[in-house]
């Protein structure tokens, strides 16, 4: 019976500990919920904080033992000097509400260092707005049971958010909190339109801070300067930029059809590759050339164009392929995920007037958005289908050599990269072209016979 009673005590102790920890005391009170105009006084809160009083000469030995239990708050020192002999170490009240909440192993070490329950105290501490992170503040303020504020991107001194409709009433507060809490942030902007225009930039509104959109970003050993309000830049693509940069080797030909301000092209040109970079947006073209200069890229390694993607492919890329096929490795990037798949058909029959055997196949890297659902999350297949459907006149499924997930955009939406080889069937296809209207193009195709016997 005694054993049973002890078991009940242990269960009750652990359950009580769970419920104590489930609701943190280190968050603002519920009175801040729904706040739209930031009132810092409403974040004031007095909390009973556990602490250990230890001798100065033993603190270096004690800290490794109790490190998992230390309190972590902004602008709050967990270790404070009490007097010339003693140090006060503040513990997390969500983890420690009594001496016995510290693990047996840690308690044994503390006892060996001559600490006892007498060293365990509580102190009332007043927490303020300055003690909370932006995550804690926004989670406490914004409505429950809805998608909260999830993330942002930093572009130099600019912090960029993409607020959903239900968060718009809180946009001024969100902007002010982020401006104050995120280091080096001087401007907060909110995207208010989708990227569907010709030049790939988007409308934005200034939430707070300096109205200064020209900024600079260091990435992959290069400095990129631009006006964020007139060009496209996404810092979350840094890893993908680096992945392509590493793939292209010195002496290769790299063709960047939607180059933007140069995150692919400029680092690759600095590797002594032959780079041809194009962008339709005149502002992107201007900053691309500016960044070439400030990064001291030699002119013989890079050439820039300000053309529509279709014209660049059918005119310039065609010539570049004829000049470089079988002489060097060729990589072609189409980083326009909203539209790039629509440009793949322009490669069909691109070299149809030439009799040529292609031994070193160019690689085409096509970026796209794969939109899944609760019943279909096979994003690789979705991305492949996007490419295949754009080329109904020729089955190019066997040309696809890789499908790679670049990043998660949102629920059931991924940015993908589909890599396919441009072989003779694609480049030497014979086709007729008819335009039904300004937005739709129809191809019919057959494979021309070549002198080397391939169809």
Residues 343 and 205 in one domain: no
Residues 261 and 187 in one domain: no
pLDDT of residue 11: 35
Nearest to 382 by CA among 391, 370, 392: 370
Lowest mean pLDDT across 193-197, 249-253, 379-383:
193-197
Q: What angle do CA 105, 109, 110 make, to 5 degrees?
A: 115
pLDDT band at residue 192, thresholds of 50, 70 and 90? confident
**End position of a domain, from candidates 153, 179, 212:** 212
Residues 298 and 322 in one domain: yes
Residue 1 maps to a domain: no
Residues 365 and 260 in one domain: yes
Residues 157 and 55 in one domain: no
290 labelled ligand-binding:
no
pLDDT band at residue 193, thresholds of 50, 70 and 90? low
Q: What angle do CA 47, 51, 54 make, to 5 degrees?
A: 160
pLDDT band at residue 433, thresholds of 50, 70 and 90? very low
- Please state the domain count of the chain: 3
Residues 97 and 141 in one domain: no
Q: How many CA atoms are closer than 13 Å to the CA of 86, on its beta-carbon side?
A: 10
Residues 189 and 241 in one domain: no
pTM: 0.82
pLDDT of residue 150: 77
Distance CA 449, CA 455 (A): 5
308 labelled ligand-binding:
yes
309 labelled ligand-binding:
yes
Q: What is the CATH number of the domain that holds 67?
A: 3.30.70
Of residues 84 and 146, more confidence is placed in 84
Helix axes 104-112, 59-66, angle to 10 degrees: 180
pLDDT of residue 442: 46
Q: Over 70: is that where the pLDDT of 445 sits?
A: no
Residue 138 maps to a domain: yes
pLDDT band at residue 393, thresholds of 50, 70 and 90? confident
Q: Over 80: is that where the pLDDT of 160 sits?
A: yes
270-275 own/partner pairs: CB under 8 Å, 24+ apart: 270/221, 270/222, 270/295, 270/297, 270/301, 271/245, 272/301, 273/248, 273/249, 273/301, 274/301, 274/324, 274/328, 275/301, 275/302, 275/303
Residue 315 maps to a domain: yes
pLDDT band at residue 17, thresholds of 50, 70 and 90? very low
pLDDT single digits (tens) 53-95: 999 999 999 999 999 999 999 999 999 999 989 999 999 999 9
Whole domain around residue 143: which residue ranges? 134-212
Q: Over 60: is that where the pLDDT of 18 sits?
A: no
Mean pLDDT of 136-160: 90
Residue 417 maps to a domain: yes
Residue 356 maps to a domain: yes
Residue 150 maps to a domain: yes
Q: Over 70: is that where the pLDDT of 391 sits?
A: yes
Residues 109 and 147 in one domain: no
Residue 378 maps to a domain: yes
Residues 349 and 414 in one domain: yes
Q: Can you give the chain as a three-state secondary structure string?
A: CHHHHHHHHHHHHHHHHHHHHHCCCCCCCHHHCCCCCCCHHHHCEEEEEEEEEEEHHHHHHHHHHHHHHECCCCCCCCEEECCCCEEEEEECCCCCCCHHHCCHHHHHHHHHCCCCHHHEEEEEEEECHHHCCHHHHHHHHCCCCCCCCCCCEEECCEEEECCCHHHHHHHHHHHHHHHHHCCCCCEEEEECCCCCCCCCCCCEEEEEECCCCEEEEEECCEEEEEECCCCCCCHHHHHHHHHHHHHCCCCCEEEECCCCCCCCHHHHHHCCCEEEEECCCHHHHHHHHHHHHHCCCCHHHEEEECCCHHHHHHHHHHHHHHHHCCCCCEEEEECCCCCHHHHHHHHCCCCCCCCCCCCCCCEEEEEEEEECECCECCHHHHHHHHHHHCCCCCCCHHHEEEEEEEEEEECCEEEEEEEEECCHHHHCEEEEEEEEECCEEEEEEEECCCCCCCC
Is there a contact between 303 and 277 (Cβ–Cβ < 8 Å)?
A: yes
Residues 160 and 284 in one domain: no
227 labelled ligand-binding:
no
Distance CA 173, CA 143 (A): 13
Residue 79 maps to a domain: yes
User: 325's torsion region: left (phi>0), alpha (psi -120 to 50) or beta?
Assistant: beta
Percent of the chain with pLDDT over 70: 87
251 labelled ligand-binding:
no
pLDDT single digits (tens) 344-385: 999 999 998 887 888 899 999 999 999 999 899 999 999 999
Q: What is the CATH number of the domain that holds 306?
A: 3.40.50.150
pLDDT single digits (tens) 270-327: 999 999 999 999 999 999 999 999 999 999 999 999 999 999 999 999 999 999 999 9
pLDDT of residue 8: 34
Residues 300 and 375 in one domain: yes
Q: What is the CATH number of the domain that holds 174?
A: 3.30.300.110
Residues 236 and 325 in one domain: yes
103-112 own/partner pairs: CB under 8 Å, 24+ apart: 106/65, 106/66, 106/69, 109/65, 110/62, 110/65, 110/66
Distance CA 374, CA 174 (A): 31
Mean pLDDT, the chain, integer: 88
Mean pLDDT of 130-157: 91
Is there a contact between 42 and 63 (Cβ–Cβ < 8 Å)?
A: no
Lowest mean pLDDT across 57-71, 179-193, 345-359, 424-438:
424-438
pLDDT of residue 353: 85
Q: Over 70: is that where the pLDDT of 5 sits?
A: no
Q: Over 80: is that where the pLDDT of 195 sits?
A: no
**End position of a domain, from candidates 100, 127, 154:** 127
Q: Over 80: is that where the pLDDT of 15 sits?
A: no
**End position of a domain, from candidates 107, 127, 147:** 127
241 labelled ligand-binding:
yes
């Amino acid at each position: 019976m005694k054993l049973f009673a002890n078991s009940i005590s242990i269960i009750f102790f652990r359950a009580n500990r769970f419920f104590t920890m489930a609701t943190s005391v280190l968050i603002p009170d519920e009175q801040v919920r729904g706040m739209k105009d930031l009132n810092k006084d409403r974040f004031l809160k007095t909390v009973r904080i556990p602490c250990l009083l230890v001798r100065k000469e033993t603190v270096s030995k004690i800290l490794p033992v109790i490190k998992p239990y230390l309190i972590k708050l902004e602008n709050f020192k967990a270790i404070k000097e009490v007097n010339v002999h003693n140090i006060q170490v503040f513990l997390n009240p969500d983890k420690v509400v009594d001496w016995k909440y510290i693990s047996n192993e840690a308690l044994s070490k503390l006892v060996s260092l001559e600490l006892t329950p007498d060293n365990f105290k509580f102190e009332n501490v007043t927490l303020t707005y300055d003690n909370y992170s932006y995550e804690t503040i926004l989670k406490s303020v914004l409505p429950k049971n809805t998608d909260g504020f999830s993330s942002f991107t930093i572009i130099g001194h600019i912090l960029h958010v993409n607020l959903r409709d239900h968060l718009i009433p809180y946009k001024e507060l969100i902007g002010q909190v982020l401006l104050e809490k995120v280091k080096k942030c001087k401007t907060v902007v909110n995207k208010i339109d989708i990227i569907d225009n010709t030049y790939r930039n988007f409308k934005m509104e200034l939430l707070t801070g300096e109205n200064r959109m020209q900024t600079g970003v260091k990435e992959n050993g290069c400095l990129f300067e631009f006006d964020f309000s007139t060009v496209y830049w996404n810092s979350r693509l840094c890893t993908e930029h680096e992945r392509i940069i590493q793939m292209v080797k010195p002496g290769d030909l790299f063709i960047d059809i939607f180059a933007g301000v140069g995150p692919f092209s400029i680092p690759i040109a600095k590797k002594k590759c032959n780079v041809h970079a194009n962008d339709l947006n005149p502002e992107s073209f201007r900053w691309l050339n500016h960044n070439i200069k400030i990064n001291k890229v030699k002119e013989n390694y890079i050439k820039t164009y300000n053309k529509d993607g279709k014209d660049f492919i059918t005119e310039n890329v065609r010539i570049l392929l004829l000049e470089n096929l079988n002489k060097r490795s060729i990589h072609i990037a189409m980083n326009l995920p909203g539209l790039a798949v629509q440009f793949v058909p322009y490669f069909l029959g691109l070299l149809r007037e030439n009799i040529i055997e292609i031994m070193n196949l160019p690689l085409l890297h096509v970026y796209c958005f794969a939109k899944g659902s609760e019943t279909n999350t096979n994003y690789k297949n979705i991305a492949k289908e996007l490419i295949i459907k754009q080329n109904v006149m020729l089955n190019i499924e066997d040309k696809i050599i890789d499908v790679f997930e670049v990043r998660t955009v949102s629920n059931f939406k991924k940015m993908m990269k589909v890599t396919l080889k441009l072989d003779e069937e694609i480049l030497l296809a014979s086709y007729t072209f008819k335009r039904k209207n300004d937005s739709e193009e129809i191809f019919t195709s057959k494979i021309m016979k070549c002198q080397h016997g391939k169809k």
